[in-house]
Amino acid sequence: MDKTIVIDYQEYGSLEELPCEDCALMQRAIESTGAAYAPYSGFHVGAALRLKDGTIVVGSNQENVAYPSGLCAERTAVFAASAQYPQCRDYEALAIVARNTEGVLCEASPCGACRQVLLEYEFRQGHPLKVICYLEGGRVRVFPSVATLLPFSFEF
Ligand code: THU
């Protein structure tokens, strides 16, 4: 029997069309691209995670000459939040953006490993973690939950 998965998400024509707090979150993610350490890829990714109490924790990709030892911006942010604020392991929204070698802002969509990591926090908190992705030309795509981004995820 054939089955189909439908993914619900929203797109906005510009950052300013987002709710204020999500626009501000994306601005923090944009700033965070400046803290990326990406000498090998030249792809500077910034992430900003908003906790339920309003705290914002930022992350950026941190690369290493032993390539797999580096870490994506999304996991840098969420692991930092979990380590620094274990009492508020409750995440509302994550904004993600990248800057290419020319310094131009561009799209960043979480990789598979980041989706799996984010999903575990979402499962544990029992409510959705919204994922806000910058798109080419300043548009924005919003996924209402991490589960939306990773159907048939690994669990045991
Ligand atoms: N990267 C991220 O930080 N987040 C993503 O969502 C995709 C990829 C990083 C990993 C590596 O440092 C560089 O971007 C190129 O893959």
Per-residue pLDDT tens over the stretch 34-92: 999 999 999 999 999 999 999 999 999 999 999 999 999 999 999 999 999 999 999 99
- What the block records as the tokens of 80 is 């930092």
Write the Ramachandran bin of 126: left for phi over 0, alpha for psi from -120 to 50, otherwise beta: left
155 catalytic residue (yes or no): no
Query: 3 CA to middle of ligand 1, Å?
Result: 32
Does residue 155 carry a pLDDT above 90?
Answer: no
As a whole number, mean pLDDT of residues 126-154 equals: 96
pLDDT in tens, 3-19: 999 999 999 999 999 99
β-strands 130-134, 91-99: how paired? parallel
43 lines ligand 1 (CB under 6 A): yes
Split into its structural domains, the chain has a count of 1
The share of the chain scoring above pLDDT 90, in percent, equals 98
112-125 vs 73-84: helix crossing angle, rounded to 10: 30
Distance CA 148, CA 143 (A): 7
Is residue 156 assigned to a domain? no
Looking up residue 98, the CATH number of its domain turns out to be 3.40.140.10
Residue 111 included in any domain: yes
- Which region holds residue 69: left if phi is over 0, alpha if psi is between -120 and 50, else beta? alpha
92 touches ligand 1 (CB under 6 Å): no
The predicted pLDDT at position 156 comes to: 78
Query: Do the domain assignments include residue 154?
Result: no
Residue 83 lies in a domain: yes
Contact 60/33 with Cβ under 8 angstroms? yes
Q: pLDDT at position 82, please?
A: 98
- What is the Å distance from ligand 1's center to 2 Cα? 34
Instruction: Give the pTM.
Output: 0.97
What is the mean pLDDT of the segment spanning 96-110?
A: 96
- Cβ of 47 below 6 Å from ligand 1: no
Q: Whose CA is nearest to atom 16 of ligand 1?
A: 41
Say which of 21, 31, 63, 74 is annotated catalytic. 74
CB 117 less than 6 A from any atom of ligand 1: no
Domain range enclosing 134 = 11-148
